[in-house]
């Protein structure tokens, strides 16, 4: 309807801005150019600069041969600079290339050919350094792109074949040998193996996987032969989403970068006006030498070039986000990186975040003279028929103890909502439920000694079930959602990093919440909270601490995650919701990634501030040399290039921030 255009035509239309186009999902073959070929123009310009200097030393700086050599150096080395600078000048867009273009042409006009050529060479070198640093920072994403195979062996129907990953369809079966990487996301339908998921989740230890377990493209099958049913197209795999989100994040402007861009927009024209003033005011008002002060004005243009300032933030942001992605932490933008670095408080959901999210039997005690295994088999037979969330803990424990309960026939099973269950086994009626429910079933109620034991267990944060028959009391079973092994250490690390407040939010009762909170070491515990209560509490925290993070599973805690300054989702690799809704996703279900993320963000924020302060400070210092007339083009370009190099190297220090989990 609107016609079609070739890639060549699109690129031609965007040639003025150097736009390049590539087909969607195209594989990019990165061709490495030889060093001499890649930097041929810079090297040629440098050689001509040396030739001009040597001739100048022998025949004098004003010799025609020396000027020709310098002019050739300027034209060859500065061709692309002048091309952009002159176009921007015609558009009245005053950026660093415009400043450099005016400075070099001005230097040539007043006869400073050697210094003009030096400015061109040193600016070209600073551009090369800038390009290298950005490439270095983006290598983490290239390495993620390279980890997935380009083709795979599949079974489709009865036929086995090797196909490109783009041609693999949902429900095809991947055939993955030991030592091979998985090409697609899927579910294991046959085989057992240890899978190295480091590329996705940052976990250093391989994870055991079996039938019905989910596996991800780019992970390494270390041991067994696997058959994996494909569940996603190549562009929808977890690794593809991570790459897409990280690329978006690296391209997004952070608040400090937006500040720098706004600053540069006004700063550059002001520098040009200041340079003009330096060039014409002393000769006009004080009778000073025109050549001398035009030269000073040109030096002001060079030293005022905001190269270091412009690059100060993006290199740091790109480096930090790339480093985090390699360690299994997905930060979805520079703004979230900066906000994370300035956090004052962190709120945690309890279940599945500070705890494992899986209830387990922690205590089991029978009445005197009661056979423990037989009674637990009866409890299991009853709980097998139950829909209660804690029933899974009973069944799991029975399997661990290898108890045989399949032969027990259950009759007249009844569930009393909120209280318990009962049924008949081998002619005897058995009850399992809350202590108050069991208290009602026993003549005379529970003995005081059992009341004391139940109270003690509940104070430890455990849910207690009592068991009796129609004739007597039988047992007490305590179930709890266990705290993660790493939780206490993580909370301590966060406090040592300077977090003022750690809070646990939960819908559990006060006793359970306080017990878990004490074990975790958080500053404060809020219990009996509905989702809307969590949302209200996050808003209160924000008004008190301004910047607050919420750590949850990305699904149940969506309102609280959205209301926080930074929403952090656990186990992002397993849920699309976490990847899409959270500001930061910890790809592994590993709380230890949190201190690393805080440490990286804080260092990134510190480096950005250092870069901006240093960039502006060095400019101010160099500009002060104008007052006594000491500023030269040599000092100006070395100040500018030196500042660019220093902020670049300073930003690349973020690659060295280690994940110590």
For 385-522, where are the alpha helices, taking DSSP H only? 391-400, 435-441, 448-459, 487-496, 510-520
* SS3 at position 628: coil
Query: Where is 331: in which H helix or E strand?
Result: strand 329-331
User: Taking the mean position of all CA atoms in its chain, how far away is CA 576?
Assistant: 15
Q: How many CB atoms lie within 10 A of CB 459?
A: 12
As a whole number of angstroms, the distance between CA 278 and CA 631 comes to 11
The secondary structure of residue 224, as a DSSP letter, is S
Q: Would you say 83 and 89 are in contact if contact means Cβ atoms under 8 Å apart?
A: no
As a whole number of angstroms, the distance between CA 81 and CA 201 comes to 43
CB-based burial, 548-578: b 16+ in 10 Å, e otherwise: bbbbbbbebbbebbebbbbbbbbbbbbbebb
* SS3 at position 42: helix
Q: Copy the structure tokens of residue 168.
A: 């693999």
Per DSSP (E only), the strands in 138-216 are: 151-156, 159-164, 173-176, 186-190, 193-196, 207-209, 214-215
As a whole number of angstroms, the distance between CA 503 and CA 632 comes to 58
Q: What is the largest CA-CA distance in the chain?
A: 120
For 425-500, where are the alpha helices, taking DSSP H only? 435-441, 448-459, 487-496
Q: Would you say 337 and 321 are in contact if contact means Cβ atoms under 8 Å apart?
A: yes
Could you write out the three-class secondary structure of 364-395? Answer: EEECCCCCHHHHHHHHHHHHHCCCCCCHHHHH
As a whole number of angstroms, the distance between CA 128 and CA 577 comes to 41
As a whole number of angstroms, the distance between CA 104 and CA 49 comes to 14
The CA–CA distances, whole Å, from 306 to 17, 205, 645 equal 20, 46, 13
Q: At what angle do helices 593-624 and 633-652 cross, to 10 degrees?
A: 170
As a whole number of angstroms, the distance between CA 290 and CA 279 comes to 7
As a whole number of angstroms, the distance between CA 94 and CA 97 comes to 8
Q: Would you say 640 and 308 are in contact if contact means Cβ atoms under 8 Å apart?
A: yes
As a whole number of angstroms, the distance between CA 171 and CA 94 comes to 56
- CA dihedral 493→498→501→502, nearest 10 degrees, is -20
Could you write out the three-class secondary structure of 266-309? Answer: HHHHHHHHHHHHHHHHHHHHHCCCHHHHHHHHHHHHHHCCCHHH
* SS3 at position 568: strand
Dihedral over Cα of 94, 95, 101, 104: its sign? positive
As a whole number of angstroms, the distance between CA 359 and CA 165 comes to 40
Catalytic residues: 349
Beta pairing class for 463-469 and 473-483: antiparallel
Token look-up 């005081």 returns 448
């Amino acid at each position: 309807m609107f016609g079609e255009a070739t890639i060549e035509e699109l690129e031609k239309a965007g040639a003025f801005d150097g736009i390049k186009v590539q087909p969607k999902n195209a594989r990019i073959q990165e061709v490495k150019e030889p060093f001499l070929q890649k930097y041929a123009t810079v090297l040629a310009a440098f050689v001509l600069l040396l030739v001009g200097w040597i001739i100048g030393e022998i025949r004098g700086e004003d010799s025609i041969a020396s000027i020709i050599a310098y002019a050739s150096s300027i034209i060859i080395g500065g061709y692309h600079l002048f091309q952009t600078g002159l176009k921007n000048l015609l558009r009245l867009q005053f950026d660093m290339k415009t400043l450099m273009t005016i400075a070099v042409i001005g230097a040539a006009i007043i006869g400073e050919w050697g210094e003009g050529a030096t400015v061109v060479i040193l600016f070209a070198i600073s551009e090369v350094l800038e390009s290298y640093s950005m490439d270095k920072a983006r290598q983490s994403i290239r390495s993620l792109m390279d980890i997935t195979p380009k083709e795979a062996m599949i079974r489709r129907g009865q036929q086995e074949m090797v196909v490109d990953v783009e041609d693999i369809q949902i429900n095809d079966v991947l055939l993955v040998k030991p030592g091979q990487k998985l090409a697609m996301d899927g579910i294991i339908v046959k085989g057992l193996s240890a899978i190295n998921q480091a590329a996705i989740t940052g976990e250093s230890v391989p994870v055991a996987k079996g039938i019905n377990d989910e596996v991800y493209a780019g992970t390494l099958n270390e041991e067994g032969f696997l058959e994996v049913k494909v569940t996603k197209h190549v562009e929808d795999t977890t690794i593809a989403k991570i790459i897409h989100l990280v690329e978006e994040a690296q391209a997004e402007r952070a608040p400090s970068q937006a500040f720098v861009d706004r600053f540069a927009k006004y700063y550059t024209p002001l520098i040009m006006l200041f340079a003009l003033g330096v060039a014409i005011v002393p000769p006009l008002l004080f009778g000073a030498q025109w050549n001398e002060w035009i030269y000073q004005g040109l030096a002001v243009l060079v030293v005022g070039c905001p190269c270091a300032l412009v690059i100060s933030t993006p290199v740091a942001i790109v480096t930090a986000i790339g480093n985090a992605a390699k360690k299994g932490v997905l930060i979805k933008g520079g703004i979230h990186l900066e906000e994370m670095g300035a956090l004052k408080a962190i709120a945690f959901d309890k279940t599945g975040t500070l705890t494992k999210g899986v209830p387990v039997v922690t205590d089991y005690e029978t009445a005197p003279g009661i056979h423990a295994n037989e009674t637990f088999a009866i409890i299991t037979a009853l709980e097998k028929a139950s829909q209660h969330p804690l029933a899974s803990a009973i069944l799991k424990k029975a399997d661990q103890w290898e108890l045989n309960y399949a032969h027990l026939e259950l009759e007249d099973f009844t569930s009393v909502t909120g209280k318990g269950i009962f049924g008949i086994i081998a002619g005897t009626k058995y009850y399992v439920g809350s202590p108050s429910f069991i208290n009602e079933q026993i003549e005379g109620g529970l003995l005081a000694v059992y009341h004391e034991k139940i109270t003690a267990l509940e104070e430890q944060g455990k849910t207690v079930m009592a068991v009796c028959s129609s004739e007597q009391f039988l047992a007490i079973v305590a179930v709890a959602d266990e705290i993660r092994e790493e939780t206490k250490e993580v909370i301590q690390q966060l406090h040592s990093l300077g977090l003022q407040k750690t809070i646990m939010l939960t819908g559990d009762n006060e006793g359970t919440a306080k017990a878990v909170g004490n074990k975790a070491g958080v500053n404060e515990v809020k219990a009996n909270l509905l989702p809307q209560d969590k949302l209200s509490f996050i808003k209160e925290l924000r008004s008190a601490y301004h910047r607050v993070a919420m750590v949850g599973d990305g699904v149940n805690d969506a309102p609280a995650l959205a209301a926080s300054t930074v929403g952090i989702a656990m186990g992002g690799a397993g849920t699309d919701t976490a990847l899409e809704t959270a500001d930061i996703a910890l790809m592994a279900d590993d709380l230890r990634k949190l201190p690393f993320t805080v440490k990286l963000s804080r260092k990134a924020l510190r480096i950005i501030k250092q870069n901006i302060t240093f960039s502006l400070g060095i400019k101010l210092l160099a500009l002060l040399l104008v007052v006594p007339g000491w500023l030269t083009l040599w000092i100006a370009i070395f100040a500018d290039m030196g500042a660019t190099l220093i902020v670049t190297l300073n930003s690349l220090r973020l690659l060295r921030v280690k994940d110590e989990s």
